[in-house]
Amino acid sequence: MKHLPELAVIAMFVSVAIIMATTGHPRAAVAEETAAAKQTAAADKTREPRPATKTGVTLEIARDRAEIMHDVYAATLEVLHERYFHGARAAVPARAMQDVFSTIQRKSRVEARWISVNMEPMSIDHEPKSDFEKRAAQAISAGKGHLDVVEEGFYRRAGAIPLDDGCIGCHAGFAKKPTDDPKFAGLVISVPLSQQKPAQVKTPKDSPR
């Protein structure tokens, strides 16, 4: 439990980085988050959430933001695993990061969630649900870096998250010996798009990379 203050600081900086990537006014967002960080934990809990922005962004901006967010989340997950997760002495990093996902969604309407790819999910909530998520899991398992699509007013990007030995041990179970094939999870990020005329937004086919 001694790492809780450090984890709170990491969560704060992750939130700042994501807000900078998902707003047109990064300096204002940083100032707001810095001021909030100086408040006490009790005050922070009672602070009213900032209303979510109702307007979306263009497809080009959405692609860029989703890629940046994937990199920030993946790097944060790696740091949490290496520095703070030691068996049963700390919260599972992927679970802890879901709190960050919720905060970012409340402030920017950008959604993020984990999906299982070629390992057993740690939670039934991580099973691929939509047709896109199922196809993305298959593509990532086959070695694709990501799959994206435009649907239901969102740009959705499912990116690969490589699993190391520590992750694999929990997902596979300590009594089972996993195969030598690369193991992955997936991170699905959904960025709301602005409402434009159909001719202005070209919806490409799923584009694995």
Q: What is the pLDDT of residue 202?
A: 47
- Asked whether residue 182 carries a pLDDT value surpassing 60, the answer given is yes
pLDDT band at 155 (very low <50, low <70, confident <90, very high): very high
Q: What is the pLDDT of residue 200?
A: 41
pTM for the predicted model, two decimal places: 0.68
Average pLDDT over residues 173-198: 77
Q: Kindly state the tokens that stand for 153.
A: 């007013």
The sign of the dihedral angle between the CA atoms of 69, 74, 75, 79 is: positive
**Residue 69 vs residue 123, higher pLDDT:** 69
Measured distance CA(137)–CA(132) in Å, rounded: 9
**Residue 92 vs residue 45, higher pLDDT:** 92
